[in-house]
Amino acid sequence: MSTDTQTRARGPLEGYLVVDLSRALAGPHASMMLADLGARVIKVENPGMGDDTRGWGPPFVGPDDNLQSTYFLSCNRNKESIALDLKSDDGRAVLRDLLLRADVVVENFRPGVLDRLGFSPEAMHELNPSLVILSITGFGHDGPESSRSGYDQILQGEAGLMSLTGSGPDDPQRVGVPIADLLSGMYGAFGLLAALLQRERTGEGQIVRTSLLAALVGVHAFQGTRATVAGEVPEAQGNHHPSIAPYGLFACRDGSVQISIGSEKLWATFAAEFGFDPARAEWATNAHRVRNRESLKAAITDAFAHFDAAPLLHKLGQAGIPAGKVRSLDEVYQWDQALSQGLLIDVEHDVLGKISLPGPPLRFFSPADTAETTNTTHSAPPVLNQHGSEIRDWLNRAVEGI
């Protein structure tokens, strides 16, 4: 594991060095997860423009002569940046020095790109046999379509997710965030940590591979087994669950609310609250309610039409019925419950000053006294090459044995 004279955030991965060769979102999201856990993450970027996402916008924020992309800010907290031209002798030499000291490499190039630069998996493991390499592609590293470029919305369509999302079968919709990138990053980080655990036993690194395609197929869940086991082809059906009823978004007098009736006990309670006969033949069991969904939806909509959203949610809550509203993102980041979970953090950016970012989703506690041990020290996403000189100095000191 790496050592470094700088003070760094503590966490379960404290002392591990991650060399992040990735760009855009899948790889950067994976490496940000590792950085949140205390790993030192050095992001290697192209000189000049840096990571592609530095140019993705609007929105951009900051001074006109140094605009910053909010897209880049979303996936690069707690990292350092060094700009290296990997086609130059100097760039390759610095990368080799980093690889010699690294525990992990994250990359999401198309298959063969790193090989042509002289950094194939075999070459990296020859330099450092204990290295764990996370490699993420769009469609997979082999197979007849492995050479295709992988962009999130393309994969949402190709992997079937868009066929499940939308108001109906003729209205395929993308998920509102780049879910293929995010999930492949999460699966990749999960596999990478498993490889690090194995390395503790064997001393040997290995290559972890995943793809945007694999990540989306991996979350087909019950929709997948509807297709593979039941022989059904699932279709989009809007804001209502295909296998549970009532479960979805319902209009009320001044807006809408969501309810989730996931058991027969909840159904009996809900029916009693709103004057339905829980034993009515066509609604007697969940299977009956799913088959007769349209009549059930109409009855609930009629019942909810007499309520404004706030008192309706209060009534549902008092009865123990799982319910909620649809919040805008500004409401989420002002919500006391979200704030209580550390889901908004303040950092000091080199150009922008103090900014607020969505926070890490994991928390840690001591088993002895349940005191929270979650790292709350975070650094802002770096500007391009912000740490280049420091990293080079650190490498030189390491070579000199200082």
234-286 residue pLDDT tens = 999 999 999 999 999 999 999 999 999 999 999 999 999 999 998 899 999 99
For residue 75, tell me if it sits in a domain: yes
Tell me what pLDDT residue 400 has.
63
Domain for residue 294, yes or no? yes
The pLDDT of residue 399 is above 80: no
pLDDT at 297: 96
Higher pLDDT: 51 or 369? It is: 51
99-149 pLDDT, tens per residue? 999 999 999 998 888 999 999 999 999 999 999 999 999 999 999 999 999
| Domain annotation covers residue 176 | yes
Residues 318 and 363 in one domain: no
Has residue 11 been placed in a domain? no
* Active-site residue, 181 included: yes
Q: Say if residue 145 is in the same domain as residue 188.
A: yes
- HSE at residue 127, side-chain half, CA atoms within 13 A, is 22
Is 147 within the bounds of a domain? yes
Question: Residue 9's pLDDT is what?
Answer: 62
Q: Do 155 and 66 have their domain in common?
A: yes
Residue 369: pLDDT band with limits 50, 70, 90:
confident
> Does residue 4 surpass a pLDDT of 80?
no
State the CATH number of the domain containing residue 315: 3.30.1540.10
Confidence class for position 51, pLDDT limits 50, 70, 90? very high
- 268 and 363, same domain (yes or no): no
Task: Calculate the average pLDDT of the chain.
Answer: 94
Is residue 9 a part of any domain in this protein?
Answer: no
At 402 the pLDDT is 41
- For residues 121 and 207, the answer to whether their CB atoms sit within 8 Å is yes
Cα dihedral sign for 85, 86, 89, 91?
positive
Whether the per-residue pLDDT at 198 is higher than 60: the answer is yes
Query: Is the per-residue pLDDT at 367 higher than 60?
Result: yes
What is residue 2's predicted lDDT score, i.e. its pLDDT?
A: 44
27 in any annotated domain: yes
- The predicted pLDDT at position 370 comes to 87
Question: How many domains, in total, are found in the chain?
Answer: 2
Give the number of residues written for the chain: 402
pLDDT the model gives residue 397: 87
> Does 214 have pLDDT greater than 80?
yes
**80 & 105 share domain:** yes
**Which residue range forms the structural domain that includes residue 206?**
17-219+341-400
Q: Would you state the pLDDT for residue 111?
A: 86
Q: Quick one: pLDDT band at residue 48, thresholds 50, 70, 90?
A: very high
Predicted local confidence at residue 312, as pLDDT: 98
Annotated catalytic residue within 4, 170, 181, 330: 181
Cβ–Cβ < 8 Å for 54, 69 = yes
DSSP letters for 24-46: SSHHHHHHHHHHHTT-EEEEEE-
pLDDT of residue 398: 73
CATH at 21: 3.40.50.10540
Return the ∠ at Cα 401 (arms to 397 and 402), rounded to 5°.
55
